[in-house]
Chain A
Amino acid sequence: MLVTWRYKKRRSLIQWFDPRAWLIFFTSFIFSTLFFWDLRFLSFFLAIALLVVFTSGIRWSEMRRAWLFIGGFVFFFTFLTFLTGRGGMEVYANEHLIRRLEAPFTLFGWRPAIDVTVERSFFALSQMARVFSLASMTILIPYSLNPASYGIAFRGLGFPDKIAYAMDLTMRFIPTYGRDFQLTLDAQRARGYELEKLSGGLFAQVRKMAPLIVPVTIHAIIGSEDIIDAMDLRAFGVGPRTWIDQLHYRHRDRILIALAILLFVASLLLTFIGLGEFWVPPALIS
């Protein structure tokens, strides 16, 4: 059975709006953020994202895992970019050295060193602000969007019936996959399988993952076949369908959609006139 995300009704800014209006705003926010590398502009987006997070009414204990996973991921890659200096080469050409840190040892005659530069540091900060803005807004969606409204929300956004229902099922398929993975992991652990003790090269390790990957994949395929049977047996896809749930835009939703459009158009214009590119405070490089 398809399981749902941990949605519940909360008094929150997100849930104050119609899900369609929020999805439009969310899409506008994501694309607008991607236009910028300037930390000053990104701070604006981060502020909006944090405002939404803090007014979401979701307890830390509920979304701790998601935050730790995504936060860890973001920190790791930002730090990697910072160390290698490779990620930002496309947005800045010159670097201004703050300090060169050298390791007190050599490896086969080579002494590892990191150049801490103004550009690298600001690139890391900009990257973090950008990715955290995107991640914060995205993490909240499964907790805040009523699963019962997925289909009608996508339909209301203009998607055809079949696509809207498919998107509804896909949204619910992700947590279902997670549950099946956990059940399989438990079943194999009960047979003495220890994921943490995998050894060997990459291919050997992937091969040793088969006890997890095969059942989960097969289960997903069988589950999909069951879903298709159940849908076929109740005449899905034979023609235009009715959706018994109805959504109605209110005044506030129209305002949010107007703001979403405004945000996107303004971001586009700013990019056209050359604002929003990577920025470092001039005082630091003069």
Chain B
Amino acid sequence: MRVKPIPAVDIRKLNFRYRNRQELAIKDISLQVMPGELLLLAGASGCGKTTLIRCVNGLIPRSYKGEISGQILLNEEDSSGLPLARISQIVGTVLQDPERQILGTRVRNEVAFGLENLGLPREEIIPRVDEALDHLGISRLRERETFHLSGGEKQKVALAGVLAMRPSILLLDEPLASLDPASAQETLDLVRRLVDEGMAVIMVEHRVEDVLKYKPDRVLFMQEGEVRYLGLVEGLKNVVNYHEVKLPAPDVIARAAQDPPPAALRFLPSVSGDERTVEATALVQFEHVFFHYEGGEDVIHDVTINIERGDIIAILGANGSGKTTLVKHAIGLLKPRSGRVLVDGRDTREISVAEVAKTLGYVFQSPSHMLFAPTVGEELAFGPTNLRHTPQEIEKEVKEAIEIVNLSGKEKDPPLALSFGQQKRVSIAAILAMRSRILVMDEPTAGQDYQNYMEFMDAILQLPNFAAILFITHDIDLAVIYANRVLLVDQGRVVADGKPQDVMRDFSLLTTTRLVPTSLLQTNLEKLAITGRFLRAEALAHVSQS
């Protein structure tokens, strides 16, 4: 007779309401995860994914107070009676951003942290640290300082720190969010291996398409705190709309073929014609720009590029390749060590950042570094007020910006009380309200759910006031769908600059810059002879029919 396996995680009728909140964050959740199972947990921002993770790892109700009902069994043991120290040996958690999890200054100290806290003898800790590093193939990082690791390396070190405690359950809260595609793939390879070795893994992830390649056993799709779908991957594709979750391009094409063709969008409507126009004076000119931080080596190396009217530029490259440093030169926050940057023909060394801001709006990667005002409305009025727009103009600009990022009705809300995804949209709206002619966005879609970011990217690119748009991204598909020019940055150098269909057909070049071709890119390349340009999957569905 076969023995019925014990579930690693058994959640029974779980409800939770945060203190000071009216509504339940999660409602009536019941599910089991077996050893050796990978459960993908998907859903829009604010749907309760992180709350569920916090319930399983014990932070709720121990660190986050509120009303909880239901039961969670970990390897058949009721977790409500367990201290956090005990839970942490059963459940390992890797948070969304490894930067926020790493405490140790050196890799081996970081990996040893949990074991040190358990008071294990030194002779036991050191071999376990080595074993965890070895298991993830990062023994070479052992003596490195954590601060100097790349994003992907940090994620692996955070994972090693958790694995050293030998948990049987692993929770991953958007582990790919800040990683370049190659690092994301390496992380997923590791996770798959851990699952195959018998670990129960729950992975929260917006990048559903990437995870699907690694064959999760089941998918849990949440909406407004409830389970909307729990079952096999194949079933998800029938339940969710392809606008809500990013599915592989062939699946979207198959589904979209049944729907009417999407409306044609006109990007950068202020620019006449489809093509970018090379004028006598480029909007922004980089001339042999070199840059290094004090006491360091060159991080930007001899960059010469022009940003022309009509450009929609995607800047792609690995974590730490110099993308952000490069665009910070465009607004004058950094000045070249040699060479020069001209905005509207004026050297950024000779004008203030505030003056450049009239021409070039720059959306920072992290919204929490800029939000301060008591209401969303006031937050959005800050930039235009600094630029001395009239009150009538400001009112109009704020209203339009709020509509574009889909936050109507939130004008009076404090921005700091919004979810991360909503804060990100406020930070974009704050720059849109300034009505600059050039828009620069650093990772505009990071931490956003698919439907939201596609909607606001569509809306931003159709705005009447921009002469050029530039965005940094790790999402190749964003470049495929929106860009008419791609810059590949590698170790501070621009290694490719051209039309997406020219640059991105060279897969070996993509691989050297730690990018991974997606199904949308591959499908577009296959159909390029018919389409002549890259299209989104919904549009490709109708090309294939014609």
Contacts and interface: CB of A to CB of B under 8 A. Distances in A.
Interface of A: 1-4, 61-62, 147-148, 169, 172, 180, 183-184, 186-194, 210-215, 218-219, 222-223, 226-246
Interface string B349-366: 000111001100110101
26 contacts: A147-B105, A148-B109, A180-B369, A183-B369, A184-B370, A187-B370, A190-B331, A190-B364, A192-B386, A194-B386, A211-B370, A213-B372, A214-B416, A215-B368, A218-B416, A227-B103, A234-B161, A234-B162, A235-B89, A237-B117, A239-B119, A241-B116, A242-B115, A242-B125, A244-B112, A244-B122
Nearest to A197: B354
A33 B362 CA distance: 50
B95 A229 contact: yes
Contacts of A183: 364, 366, 369
Nearest to A169: B103
Interface on chain B toward A: helix, strand, loop, or mixed SS?
A: helix
Given A235-B88, A236-B113, 7 more contacts: A148-B106, A189-B354, A191-B431, A192-B387, A226-B100, A242-B119, A246-B122
Given A238-B117, A242-B116, A228 B369 contact: no
A267 B375 CA distance: 58
A215 B145 CA distance: 28
B63 A228 contact: yes
Contacts of A223: 100
B265 interface: no
A222 B434 CA distance: 28
Interface string B78-103: 00000111001100010100011111
Interface string B38-65: 0000000000000000000101001100
B147 interface: yes
B541 interface: no
Given A231-B103, A234-B165, A194 B117 contact: no
A240 to B, nearest CB: 5
Interface of B: 57, 59, 62-63, 83-85, 88-89, 93, 95, 99-106, 108-109, 112-122, 125-126, 129, 145-147, 154, 161-162, 165, 294-295, 328, 331, 333, 352-354, 357-358, 361-362, 364, 366, 368-373, 382-383, 386-387, 416, 430-431, 434
B59 A214 contact: no
A230 B95 contact: yes
A190 B329 CA distance: 12
Given A1-B99, A61-B294, A232 B434 contact: no
A247 to B, nearest CB: 13
A214 B294 CA distance: 28
Nearest to B416: A218
Contacts of A172: 105
B434 A188 contact: no
A211 B382 contact: yes
A230 B352 contact: no
A218 B118 CA distance: 32
A193 B100 CA distance: 29
Given A191-B431, A241-B116, A244-B125, A186 B354 contact: no
Interface on chain A toward B: helix, strand, loop, or mixed SS?
A: helix
B114 A187 contact: no
Contact of B84 (A180, A213, A218, A232): A232
B354 A3 contact: no
Given A1-B147, A186-B333, A242-B119, A232 B372 contact: no
A234 B368 contact: no
Given A215-B370, A218-B416, A244-B112, A192 B434 contact: yes
Contacts of B165: 234-235
Given A191-B430, A235-B88, A241 B117 contact: yes
A268 B353 CA distance: 55
B364 A242 contact: no
B119 A190 contact: no
B282 to A, nearest CB: 21
Contact of A235 (B85, B328, B430): B85
Given A180-B369, A234-B113, A1 B353 contact: no
Nearest to B98: A1
Given A191-B357, A193-B354, A214-B372, A234 B117 contact: yes
Nearest to B165: A234
Contacts of B129: 244
A62 B105 CA distance: 21
B142 to A, nearest CB: 12
B359 to A, nearest CB: 11
A233 B357 contact: no
Nearest to A243: B116
B145 A4 contact: yes
A4 B149 CA distance: 13
A218 B373 CA distance: 12
A67 B357 CA distance: 33
Contacts of B328: 186
A191 B116 contact: no
A211 to B, nearest CB: 5
B372 A244 contact: no
A188 B100 contact: no
Nearest to B388: A192
Given A148-B106, A242-B115, A191 B99 contact: no
B354 A187 contact: no
B63 A189 contact: no
A183 B442 CA distance: 13
B382 A191 contact: yes
Contacts of B106: 148
Contacts of B387: 192
B122 A211 contact: no
B132 to A, nearest CB: 13
A2 B333 CA distance: 23
B119 to A, nearest CB: 5
Nearest to A189: B353
A248 to B, nearest CB: 14
B100 A184 contact: no
Contacts of B122: 242, 244, 246
A218 B416 CA distance: 9
Contacts of A193: 354, 382, 386
B202 to A, nearest CB: 15
B117 A188 contact: no
B103 A4 contact: no
B364 A230 contact: no
Among A3, A190, A211, A243, max chain B CB count under 10 A is at: A190
A210 to B, nearest CB: 6
A226 B101 contact: yes
Among B333, B370, B387, max chain A CB count under 10 A is at: B370
Contacts of A61: 294-295
Contact of A236 (B117, B294, B354): B117
A59 B109 CA distance: 29
Contact of A192 (B63, B383, B416): B383
Nearest to A180: B369
A234 B114 contact: yes
A226 B63 contact: no
Q: What are the 10 closest A-B residue pairs judged by CB atoms, nearest first?
A: A192-B386, A234-B114, A214-B372, A1-B99, A238-B85, A235-B85, A187-B370, A226-B100, A191-B383, A189-B353
Contacts of B431: 190-191
Contacts of A240: 119
Contact of B95 (A189, A190, A226, A244): A226
A241 B115 CA distance: 8
